[in-house]
Chains A and B, each alone.
Chain A
Amino acid sequence: MKADVRKTLSAFKAPSDLRADQYQVGFYAIGYERRSRYVAETLALNTKLLCGLEYETDALAIRENREWADRARVIRRKLDDYRLDGSGNFKKFVDGLIQNNTVIGEAKTLFVDVSSMDRSLIARLLASIFSVIQPPFNLRLCYAPGAFIEPQYVFVPTRECAPAIPELAGVLGIHQSNLSLLLGLGFEYGVSLGLLELLEPDHAVILIPKGTDPRYDRAVKRANFDYDFGLENIRLVPFQVNQPLTLFESIFSICSEATISRRVVIAPNGPKILAALATVVGLFHAPHITVLRASLASQPSGKHIEADGDIVAIDFRCP
């Protein structure tokens, strides 16, 4: 994936804009959050084929999400071994869907709703699409922010910390090369500290998500000890969740500059739109940037996560 996607970007914010287009294929996750089907529901009438990537879980809203998928004639695919995709089956599946539902030489319009996908799935899906799709195309990344629920501020153990997918492991670099870390903030302060401890970057950019609900902003700040990481070599960079274009350009420019002389690691905790954009930047600069995923030993909170009604989106076009 070496197309100059940066020059072909445009941004969409409101669902009404998104419904003005027709999509040949739309990908989303069938998960336990209610919001996992929100984008698919919104765009169902505009989409020739919906593909639901289905997690194996019985939690919360998974049943109703499956039922809706069946009613909407969604192609359901159970998820297994997608992070490594050692057999290449996931990529073949994505390739097949795109080839069967688009016409060679004509513009392809796809959407990917990352709202309820884990970071490895986001990375695997985007890596697969970018490796099989032929221009011209317009890939639209969508994200439905969750309606605010006061978080439990729990501290959960980390199961593992690894590249989101093997292709995004980054290069080793020369011995003792300096390291820049772009760290997205979620509600897991301990995980952020752990990454700073593990990687020992000589420079870190902390990306602070800002939503439209002030309660969310307050909760992120509280969960992260008022952004006090006890470090001097960090830069706090707030970003608006509903302005993905600005966020993408920001990450892109930071990484483009940093990769010249340093190793760059992105740990996109926090909103999934950040993870999706970090993945695109990582794929664009592959193999030079590491995109990490911290896997937590957490359980669903027990509360339904609804979409807040907004959909943020960003287009990646290649003429």
Chain B
Amino acid sequence: MMSAQRHSALFDTYNARFLDPRAIARSFIMPRSIFSLLCKNENSLLIGPRGSGKTTLMKMLRPTALRAWTHEDKKSILDSIIFSAVYVASDSGWATRMALVPGDSTEHKIFEILQNSTFVTYLMTSMLDAIAEGASINDQDDAPLQKFRITLNSNLEGELAAELAKRWLLDLEFSSLRAMRLALQDRIRAIDDIYFQIASLKRKLQLTDLSDHNFLSLDLLSAMKSFVTTVNELCGDPHKTWAFCIDELEILHSNYEMALMRSLRSSTDQRLRFKISASPFSRSHFAPDDSSVPMGGHDFTPITLTYTRKHESVRFGRQMLDALFFEAGIKETPAQVFGSSRFEPALPHDARNRESPYTKGGVRYSALRDLQANDPAFARYLRRRNINLDLMATQSEQDRAEIRKLIQIAEIRREFGATNILRNQGREIPRHRSRKRVSDLYTGAEALLTICDGNPRWLIGLFRPLIDQVKLGQQVHRSKQARSVATAIARFLSLLSTIPYPQGRHRQLPITKVIDEIGEYFFSDITDREFKTEPALSFVIDGRVKDEELNAIGAALNQGAFVFIPSQESEHCIGDIRNRRFRISYLLCPRYKLPLLYGQSIILSKILTEGRVNGTDQYTLADLYR
């Protein structure tokens, strides 16, 4: 047997689903502003794509995790939390089963009921876990943890179990929490039995046959409320607040997805809080005139785990990278190991002459001069704006702001623009247009951190193989960094390629064809005949995009292919993505030779109409960076 390579990980084991909260706490890198918001005594909606750290954040609210956590800010964070968390993981077991039967069949309706009942049963198990966590806190624990404590003696446990069992329709042989757990396992088996009766054709079931199973009528909110009332009253703390942390909302059946979203608005019970994590796109969303729509900022606090501003994602990424360096015993800084990036607005002074990069002979000056000499559009732009490159070195940072803003665009045009051509025997061959090579532009600590887009899973996947090389004493040259980026992109695209995008009535293309189209469009706008300081680098999903196309784009968004750009600080993206603005994930920008910016926006249907989404081409390994 071969052993799996430990490195080259994009989708690493940085998957908190199966990790014990204590293990999560030991490696938790706190995104301070986000976690602080989540800890507030408010309903919260945590929005982010796969790998963005939703599960980690949700599990960190559990008393067991908070107890195991060591951080200088632990006390202040603990002081801010006034609720006890009930962590509820969703389960994908039913997602695959539902695909077996037609949506309009009786079996499908029965499966829906069983799916919902499974979730309610899992919720009940989670509530018992929460009691156990509270009961595990003792006198030795720090004072701030004592508020999560539940003191149980055998009498109280028996009373609690008997009361909850009555409300949750459980038959207990003994009144204990353990007996309740076993009864809940029996309930899951009962649900499975109904499923397998249908699956094995032992019995043709009708909806009315389900009335034999009373527990199927138990609903989510009633189960929560009965728990809170019973526990609070029996434990002598009638006003205790419980936060139900529902992870991965999108895995649930749409009825429950909507019910939980509504609960963000309708809950007037001050003992109940909801912390819900979800992907940005959902097929089920509220109608525009639905008065039960919860309002972000009013009914709940939206917390987005993707970053509009680069410096925020880079700051969080740097924290994670520092932790990875520390874990690996590397004493140098990331900039020392990976070098600087040509995209950095404030490039460090030239190491050789210690002078500003904007002085004659400096890196930045030379690059801009070179572009001015070879790119008439850029030269025209400089003339029009009265910018004299020779004066840059003597200008203040404020006066140089305009130049700093266009550096990435200029670097892209210089590297990949029409003027960068190889003249050979009368032929002109554009340089560096192959998608298969990642340019050095995207290497260096800052650029690498930027393209990870603040996604922990990507960050670990990209950096860990490089760190392994550093640990072996090897230099991590730009070419190695570029290869690591190329591998990460290839793997991400191969995953995205499984998402079908409708093409006509019967054909389906990989969504990657559409992403290619968008990327190519943006690239052509940057390298246009006119030099644009604000080219189109983002798109708005307009009304002309059909529902099936929207579903495919939404699925790619949930995987992290696109990043939402709010028009104002308070805007968030959940459910419906029409009329929202997005950019391509920075991880994919090296493929399309794009700057790590989001520029102007353009409507998506314009790109797709003008573009050339090719219905005959297939997506092959040769299209990737291998």
Binding site for B on A (CB under 8 A): 83-86, 88, 152-163, 165-167, 169-176, 178-179, 189-191, 193-194, 196-200, 202, 206, 222-223, 225, 227-238, 263, 287, 290, 292, 297
Nearest-CB residue, chain B, relative to A164: B100
> Knowing A157-B510, A230-B10, A230-B12 touch, does A223 contact B621 (C-beta < 8 A)?
yes
Say which residue of A85, A152, A171, A230 sits within 8 Å of B491 (CB atoms): A230
Say which residue of A190, A202, A225, A237 sits within 8 Å of B1 (CB atoms): A237
Task: Decide if A173 touches B512 in the complex (CB within 8 Å).
Answer: no
A124 to chain B, nearest CB (A): 12
Task: Decide if A231 touches B99 in the complex (CB within 8 Å).
Answer: no
Task: Decide if B18 touches A202 in the complex (CB within 8 Å).
Answer: yes
- Starting from the known contacts A152-B618, A200-B92, A236-B1, 19 additional A-B residue pairs (CB-CB under 8 Å) come to A153-B620, A154-B621, A155-B510, A155-B512, A157-B501, A157-B509, A157-B511, A159-B508, A160-B99, A161-B99, A163-B100, A166-B199, A174-B125, A190-B498, A193-B494, A198-B92, A198-B95, A200-B18, A230-B8
> Knowing A153-B622, A189-B494 touch, does A158 contact B500 (C-beta < 8 A)?
yes
B488 to chain A, nearest CB (A): 8
Q: Which residues of A sit under 8 angstroms from B620, Cβ to Cβ?
A: 152-155
Among B3, B499, B508, find the residue whose CB has the most chain A CB atoms closer than 10 A.
B508
Task: Decide if A85 touches B201 in the complex (CB within 8 Å).
Answer: yes
> Knowing A159-B508, A223-B621 touch, does A232 contact B461 (C-beta < 8 A)?
no
Considering the complex, which residues of chain B in the window 168-202 have a beta carbon less than 8 Å from any beta carbon of chain A? 185, 188-189, 191-192, 195-196, 198-201
Task: Decide if B50 touches A197 in the complex (CB within 8 Å).
Answer: yes
Among B96, B122, B196, B622, find the residue whose CB has the most chain A CB atoms closer than 10 A.
B96
Q: Which residues of A sit under 8 angstroms from B372, Cβ to Cβ?
A: none
> Knowing A155-B510, A194-B495, A236-B1 touch, does A175 contact B500 (C-beta < 8 A)?
no
Q: Which residues of A sit under 8 angstroms from B570, Cβ to Cβ?
A: none
Give the complex CA separation of A166 and B508 in angstroms. Answer: 26
Task: Decide if B9 touches A231 in the complex (CB within 8 Å).
Answer: yes
Considering the complex, which residues of chain B in the window 520-570 have a beta carbon less than 8 Å from any beta carbon of chain A? 559
Considering the complex, which residues of chain B in the window 1-16 have a beta carbon less than 8 Å from any beta carbon of chain A? 1-6, 8-13, 15
Q: Which residues of A sit under 8 angstroms from B4, Cβ to Cβ?
A: 206, 227, 229, 231-232, 234-236
Among A163, A173, A223, A228, find the residue whose CB has the most chain B CB atoms closer than 10 A.
A228
Number of interface residues, chain B, beta carbon within 8 A: 70
- In the A-B complex, list the 5 residue pairs whose CB atoms are closest, starting with the nearest: A157-B500, A166-B199, A153-B621, A155-B497, A162-B99
Q: Is B295 an interface residue (CB 8 A)?
A: no
Q: Is B93 an interface residue (CB 8 A)?
A: yes
A-B contacts, 28 of them at CB < 8 A, read A84-B100, A84-B101, A152-B618, A152-B620, A155-B494, A156-B510, A157-B499, A161-B96, A163-B97, A172-B118, A175-B122, A176-B89, A193-B495, A194-B495, A196-B11, A197-B50, A197-B495, A197-B559, A198-B95, A200-B18, A222-B621, A228-B5, A228-B487, A230-B12, A236-B4, A237-B1, A287-B196, A297-B500
Q: Which residues of A sit under 8 angstroms from B511, Cβ to Cβ?
A: 157
Q: Is B91 an interface residue (CB 8 A)?
A: yes
Q: Which residues of B sit under 8 angstroms from A170, Cβ to Cβ?
A: 93
| B86-118 near A? 1/0 per residue, CB < 8 Å | 000101111111011100000000000000001
Q: Is B619 an interface residue (CB 8 A)?
A: yes
B348 to chain A, nearest CB (A): 32
Say which residue of B93, B199, B497 sits within 8 Å of A190 (CB atoms): B497
Task: Decide if B491 touches A193 in the complex (CB within 8 Å).
Answer: yes
Among B100, B198, B491, B619, find the residue whose CB has the most chain A CB atoms closer than 10 A.
B100
B109 to chain A, nearest CB (A): 15
A180 to chain B, nearest CB (A): 11
Among B122, B621, B623, find the residue whose CB has the most chain A CB atoms closer than 10 A.
B621
Q: Is B436 an interface residue (CB 8 A)?
A: no
> Knowing A154-B619, A156-B618, A202-B18 touch, does A292 contact B96 (C-beta < 8 A)?
yes
Nearest-CB residue, chain B, relative to A162: B99
Q: Is B126 an interface residue (CB 8 A)?
A: yes
Give the complex CA separation of A305 and B353 in angstroms. Answer: 66
Q: Which residues of A sit under 8 angstroms from B196, Cβ to Cβ?
A: 167, 287
Q: Which residues of B sit under 8 angstroms from A233, Cβ to Cβ?
A: 13
Say which residue of B17, B189, B198 sits within 8 Å of A166 (CB atoms): B198
Task: Decide if B622 touches A225 in the complex (CB within 8 Å).
Answer: no
Give the complex CA separation of A236 and B496 in angstroms. Answer: 24
A55 to chain B, nearest CB (A): 17
Task: Decide if B188 touches A174 in the complex (CB within 8 Å).
Answer: yes
B27 to chain A, nearest CB (A): 14
Q: Which residues of A sit under 8 angstroms from B494, Cβ to Cβ?
A: 155, 189-190, 193, 225
Task: Decide if A225 touches B491 in the complex (CB within 8 Å).
Answer: yes
B318 to chain A, nearest CB (A): 22
Give the complex CA separation of A263 and B626 in angstroms. Answer: 35
> Knowing A86-B201, A155-B497, A157-B498 touch, does A232 contact B9 (C-beta < 8 A)?
yes
Q: Is B66 an interface residue (CB 8 A)?
A: no
Give the complex CA separation of A190 and B100 in angstroms. Answer: 22
Q: Is B577 an interface residue (CB 8 A)?
A: no
Give the complex CA separation of A199 and B91 in angstroms. Answer: 9
Q: Which residues of B sit under 8 angstroms from A189, Cβ to Cβ?
A: 494
A12 to chain B, nearest CB (A): 26
Task: Decide if A162 touches B50 in the complex (CB within 8 Å).
Answer: no
Give the complex CA separation of A191 and B498 in angstroms. Answer: 6
Q: Is B587 an interface residue (CB 8 A)?
A: no
Q: Which residues of B sit under 8 angstroms from A229, Cβ to Cβ?
A: 4, 11
Give the complex CA separation of A202 and B13 in angstroms. Answer: 8
Among A155, A156, A162, A200, find the residue whose CB has the most chain B CB atoms closer than 10 A.
A155
Nearest-CB residue, chain B, relative to A189: B494
Say which residue of B12, B199, B507 sits within 8 Å of A232 (CB atoms): B12
Q: Is B490 an interface residue (CB 8 A)?
A: yes
Q: Which residues of B sit under 8 angstroms from A227, Cβ to Cβ?
A: 2, 4-5
Task: Decide if A225 touches B490 in the complex (CB within 8 Å).
Answer: yes
Give the complex CA separation of A30 and B3 in angstroms. Answer: 40
A257 to chain B, nearest CB (A): 15
A75 to chain B, nearest CB (A): 24
Task: Decide if A162 touches B618 in the complex (CB within 8 Å).
Answer: no
Task: Decide if B188 touches A167 in the complex (CB within 8 Å).
Answer: no
B179 to chain A, nearest CB (A): 15
Q: Which residues of A sit under 8 angstroms from B118, Cβ to Cβ?
A: 172
Give the complex CA separation of A175 and B192 in angstroms. Answer: 13
Q: Which residues of B sit under 8 angstroms from A202, Cβ to Cβ?
A: 15, 17-18
Task: Decide if A200 touches B3 in the complex (CB within 8 Å).
Answer: no
Task: Decide if B495 touches A200 in the complex (CB within 8 Å).
Answer: no
Give the complex CA separation of A274 and B425 in angstroms. Answer: 56
Give the complex CA separation of A236 and B5 in angstroms. Answer: 10
Q: Which residues of B sit under 8 angstroms from A171, Cβ to Cβ?
A: 189, 192
A264 to chain B, nearest CB (A): 12
> Knowing A153-B622, A287-B196 touch, does A83 contact B100 (C-beta < 8 A)?
yes
Give the complex CA separation of A292 and B95 in angstroms. Answer: 12
Q: Which residues of A sit under 8 angstroms from B192, Cβ to Cβ?
A: 171-172, 287
> Knowing A230-B8, A230-B10 touch, does A157 contact B490 (C-beta < 8 A)?
no
Say which residue of B11, B100, B619 sits within 8 Å of A197 (CB atoms): B11
Nearest-CB residue, chain A, relative to B191: A172
> Knowing A157-B500, A174-B188, A193-B495 touch, does A231 contact B12 (C-beta < 8 A)?
yes
Give the complex CA separation of A169 and B491 in angstroms. Answer: 29
Q: Which residues of B sit under 8 angstroms from A237, Cβ to Cβ?
A: 1-2
Task: Decide if A175 touches B126 in the complex (CB within 8 Å).
Answer: yes
Task: Decide if B17 touches A200 in the complex (CB within 8 Å).
Answer: yes
| B410-442 near A? 1/0 per residue, CB < 8 Å | 000000000000000000000000000000000
Say which residue of B92, B96, B100, B497 sits within 8 Å of A156 (CB atoms): B497
Give the complex CA separation of A229 and B95 in angstroms. Answer: 24
B327 to chain A, nearest CB (A): 14
Task: Decide if A228 touches B8 in the complex (CB within 8 Å).
Answer: yes
Task: Decide if A88 touches B618 in the complex (CB within 8 Å).
Answer: no
Task: Decide if A230 touches B9 in the complex (CB within 8 Å).
Answer: yes
Among B4, B97, B126, find the residue whose CB has the most chain A CB atoms closer than 10 A.
B4
